[in-house]
Amino acid sequence: MTDNQEDADDTAPSRRATLPLRPPCERLSGPKSSVCSRSYFVVVMVFFHVYIINVIALLFYVHYSSGQEEAGRSRDAPGGGHQRPDARRPPSKPEFVRDVSLARIEGIRVGHVQKVSLVPGKVHEMRTLSLKPLLFEIPGFLSDDECRVVMQLAQLKGLMESQLMVQEGQEELAKELNLSPEEIFNLLDINQDGQLQLHEILTHSRVRDGIWLTPENLREIYAGLKADKDNNGLLNLEEFRLLSNDAFQRFLLQRGVKRSQLVRNSRHTWLYQGKGAHQVLQDIKERVIRLTRLPPALVDLSEPLQVVRYEEGGHYHAHHDSGPVYPETACTHTRLAANTSTPFETSCRYITVLFYLNSVDGGGETAFPVADNRTYDEVSLIQNDVDLLDTRRNCDKSNLRVKPMKGTAVFWYNYLSDGRGWVGEQDEYALHGGCVVTHGTKWVANKWINIDPDYQRQARYQQLVSQLPEDDEDDEGLSLNTDIQSPRIHEDL
Ligand code: OGA
Ligand code: CA
Ligand code: FE2
């Protein structure tokens, strides 16, 4: 491509050189003296200069007026008529000057207690539970009455299953991609040793199907499908080839999957905390702002309160509330303003505030399997038959467990700082889950604070939202934007 262009440029001068470049007068026949006189030459030159000056003036005009248009567009976006998607390009210079620095509470050391003022006339104690992740506990954050109101409002609204039994759309996706067994095998073979270990298959089925298989389940499936011919607990490519693409899923469907075999076994709902919401919900939001010391606008624009109920036997296996952020990763909440499409998306939950709405009779602790571990190694989380992510079996092996106490709040940072007052990388140590409830019911609520690690995207999003009319019905075009946004922002990982 580049080579061809260079070739074309090279040939241009030689072609020009072959043209008959003679002075115009020579080509003219007839009375030479009148046409080629000195005054004629002066007139031609004057016209020529005027022409050049006109061209320069025109260029100045075009340049100046397009600059104005650009400035005008960024002032009255997003409502201003037709908008080119690339209207703000090129983004070589930052468009928004960063004038905020995110406060981050200091943990000092595990067990350190600091006094915090969250409600008038009352002082709360905040205890550091771990430094990796930065995790705190505040007893009595909510009053008994507030806990009761939140549970009642959730019940009034109605709770839905947190996870459906079979995740749809996966089969179509696989067909669309049209991957060969070799390609799938390579994708699953994380350590690229030509064998599929138990944990490689387990991780896959949990992410793909939302089904939580144990090592024993997997051996049972291998036996049922006669997959592991040499019986060494590993699948090589030949063994894998004998299985059809959805063999696992079909086997599980025939055999039936119980709710206890899902990644998550609970029900939940969402409660809005903005203007017009129940006073208790607005108060909780204000208290979260005081607790986290973050700009109120960031908390206001975050997801609503998620209320979760676990019945006896309920659990939530260990997970991250928000995923890692790569350069191509979009945040769910700012996607609207990002005007790009990317294959990766995460909810960018900078902070999780988890409220215990009741004291649980048995089990139901929140476990942090690798809190304050010296190192983090994903592979060693599932070793042989011990799976540290499994909160039905192995909560006792977690580094840290928080017992649910009515009114207590715990909060932690899912991301590190970037060292310059903004969101940095994901904190892998923030892995956590809800242990199985052995007696009674467990009620919790989550307040997530969404911040885009890309400051420009967050700023653009906030500017866009601040320009939306309060009443969506005022403007059809703009209410469309909010319609797109609201269902997605409540999605779980
Ligand atoms: C969650 C969660 C923990 C718990 O809802 O994301 O991690 O103890 N809950 O219920
Ligand atoms: Ca392998
Ligand atoms: Fe969680």
User: Whose CA is closest to 265, among 436, 406, 94?
Assistant: 436
The residue to mutate among 316, 319, 435, having the most atoms of ligand 1 within 8 angstroms of its beta carbon, is: 316
Q: What is the mean pLDDT of the chain?
A: 80
Q: Which of 99-108, 161-170, 334-343 has the highest mean pLDDT?
A: 99-108
Contact 388, 370 (CB under 8 A): yes
The residues pairing with 445 across neighbouring beta strands, listed in sequence order, are 307, 355
User: Whose CA is closest to 408, among 145, 154, 143, 151?
Assistant: 143
437 lines ligand 1 (CB under 6 A): no
CA R_g for the chain: 32
Instruction: Tell me, in angstroms, the distance from the centre of ligand 2 to residue 237's CA.
Output: 10
Q: Which residues surround ligand 2, an ion (CB under 5 A)?
A: 189, 191, 193, 195, 197
What band does 490 get if pLDDT is binned at 50, 70 and 90? very low
pLDDT at 151: 98
321 lines ligand 1 (CB under 6 A): yes
What are the CA-CA distances from residue 96 to residues 73, 83, 331, 431, 462 (Å)?
A: 15, 19, 18, 33, 11
Does the pLDDT of residue 90 top 90, yes or no?
no
308 lines ligand 1 (CB under 6 A): yes
User: Whose CA is closest to 116, among 140, 144, 147?
Assistant: 140
Instruction: Tell me, in angstroms, the distance from the centre of ligand 1 to residue 320's CA.
Output: 10
Query: Using CB atoms within 10 A of its CB, is residue 188 exposed (0-12), middle (13-18) or buried (19+)?
Result: middle
pLDDT tens for each residue of 384-413: 788 999 999 999 999 999 999 999 999 999
pLDDT at 493: 33
DSSP letters for 370-412:
TTT-S---SGGGEETTEETT-TTT-GGGSSEEE---TT-EEEE
347 lines ligand 1 (CB under 6 A): no
What band does 225 get if pLDDT is binned at 50, 70 and 90? confident
- CB neighbour burial string for 64-92, b if at least 16 within 10 angstroms, e if fewer: eeeeeeeeebeeebbeeeeeeeeebeeee
Main-chain dihedrals φ then ψ at residue 448, nearest 5 degrees:
-100, 140
> What's the pTM?
0.75
pLDDT tens for each residue of 279-290: 999 999 999 999
